[in-house]
Amino acid sequence: MATIDLQAPRHISDLGVPESMTLDIVLRRALLEGHTSTMQLATALAVTPYLMESAVEHLRRQGMLEVTGLEGRNHKLMLSETGRTTAADRMRLSRYAGPVPVSLGDYMQAVRGQHRQPKIHHDTIRRAFTDLVIGDRLLDELGPAILAKGAIFLYGPPGTGKSSIAERLIRVHEDAVVVPRAVEVDGQVITVFDPVLHRPVEPQPKGLDPRWVLCARPSVIVGGELRASQLDLSYDANAGFYAAPLQMQANNGILVIDDFGRQSMTPDELLNRWIVPLDRGVDYLTLESGLKFELPCLTKIVFSTNMEPSHLADEAFFRRIRSKVLIPAIEDQEFDQILLAVAASSGVTVAPGAAEHLREVSREQGDGDLRPYLPAVVCELVSSISDYEDMDRILDVAMVDRVAGIFFTHATSMREPAAQTAD
């Protein structure tokens, strides 16, 4: 965990962000909720009830909030007329009414304090990939690549499991990190925590500042849909606050750029965007005001592609990537092992000779070698055919041919037969 104090603050002055920002967020939240309470506001703003009581008392003295009832120490609240007018004014500047952000300084300290190389060896790698069939040679290349500084470049023909491997690299980390719900920069709010990308640890540690969430190290995966705008701050003009870019959300974890070379931006544009983060471990972002600020970029970047590397970048760029790992096609034994494992989980019985015949068909009608994705596809089709015809799920030689006729693309003539000419 980070070296900063992550105990829940008890006073507004201990939040590390402008007091006026905190009070404005309280006002906006109260306006949205109408009738609310101290506990509701504390939960929505990710602060302790004690701190919220202090904020409420401050706004009461200003004539912004009125107490309408009391349940124990939980005050029932609503905005006064002055409070509603002020809150509406604040809404025109920003509609942010979520968790109170942490300061940029605290965020930077937390990221740097949590950055560490994993202590891994062969057994660690084997545990991380226990649900995949991977040879020892490849595992022994992946291990040092993870330990080495800088990015990883995974390449090889389509369907060899690069994406599956990249997704599991984060498993070598067996600890957790804190992720801020939001960060304040120059009076602006940047949201960071995303429940889609971040997986909270349950239960959360007692006493942890609720503005932080203890999560498994993040693993952010993007593919051909990646746009240049996703690597910069995203400003919502209507809402008046920012969303963090992908690399900020992936800090202290990994960022996988899958299908590298198939994005709308050119490989050169994407690669040039990463030169500074790869060389220096920092990134520079810019607010709408023009203010540029630095923040740590301590994420493991993984490029994955089935394109020829020489077509993507020059040698100068590849010198910046220390680890290049080829993910080749698999051998017969590995293919059969995958087939039997997938078949067992799918309720498919593999008849004698079926695996060998499937390998032959795959090489003849496919790409000429064996790919680890094929057994899952075959078992899925076997299950569909068998269920449709109300028969047992059995993969035999005849079923292999039937599945191959469905799955593999066969060249056919679309031309109409030539007209017969009279003698």
Residue 307 host element (H or E) = none
Minimum mean pLDDT range among 134-138, 299-303, 409-413? 409-413
In the predicted structure, residue 410 carries a pLDDT above the cut 70: no
CA separation for the pair 380, 403 (Å, rounded): 10
For 411, the token pair is: 């060249």
In the predicted structure, residue 220 carries a pLDDT above the cut 60: yes
Q: What is the mean pLDDT of residues 179-191?
A: 97
For 109, the token pair is: 């300290």
pLDDT tier for residue 361 given thresholds of 50, 70 and 90:
very high
In the predicted structure, residue 122 carries a pLDDT above the cut 60: yes
Minimum mean pLDDT range among 169-173, 182-186, 391-395? 169-173
Q: What is the mean pLDDT of residues 68-81?
A: 90
pLDDT attached to residue 198 = 96
Q: What is the mean pLDDT of residues 360-379?
A: 91
Task: Compute the half-sphere exposure of residue 188: CA atoms within 13 Å on the CB side of its CA.
Answer: 24
pLDDT attached to residue 2 = 43
Give me the percent of the chain exceeding a pLDDT of 90: 69
Domains of the chain, first to last: 12-100 (1.10.10.10), 115-175+217-326 (3.40.50.300), 332-407 (1.10.8.60)
Minimum mean pLDDT range among 66-75, 282-291, 296-305? 66-75
pLDDT attached to residue 1 = 45
* Mean pLDDT, the chain, whole residue set: 90
pLDDT tier for residue 4 given thresholds of 50, 70 and 90:
low
Which comes out higher in pLDDT, residue 372 or 268? Answer: 372
pLDDT attached to residue 116 = 80
The candidate with the shortest Cα–Cα distance to 22, out of 60, 55, 54, is 55
pLDDT tier for residue 272 given thresholds of 50, 70 and 90:
confident
pLDDT attached to residue 412 = 46
In the predicted structure, residue 253 carries a pLDDT above the cut 90: yes
pLDDT attached to residue 131 = 85
- At residue 47, what is the residue type? V
pTM summary value? 0.86
pLDDT digits (tens, 9 = 90+) for 306-323: 888 878 877 777 887 889
Residue whose entry in the numeric block shows the structure tokens 């952010």: 220
Q: What is the mean pLDDT of residues 224-243?
A: 93
The string of DSSP codes covering 336-396 is HHHHHHHHHHHT-EE-TTHHHHHHHHHHHHSSSSB-TTHHHHHHHHHHHHHHHTT---EE-
Residue 294 host element (H or E) = strand 292-296
pLDDT attached to residue 258 = 93
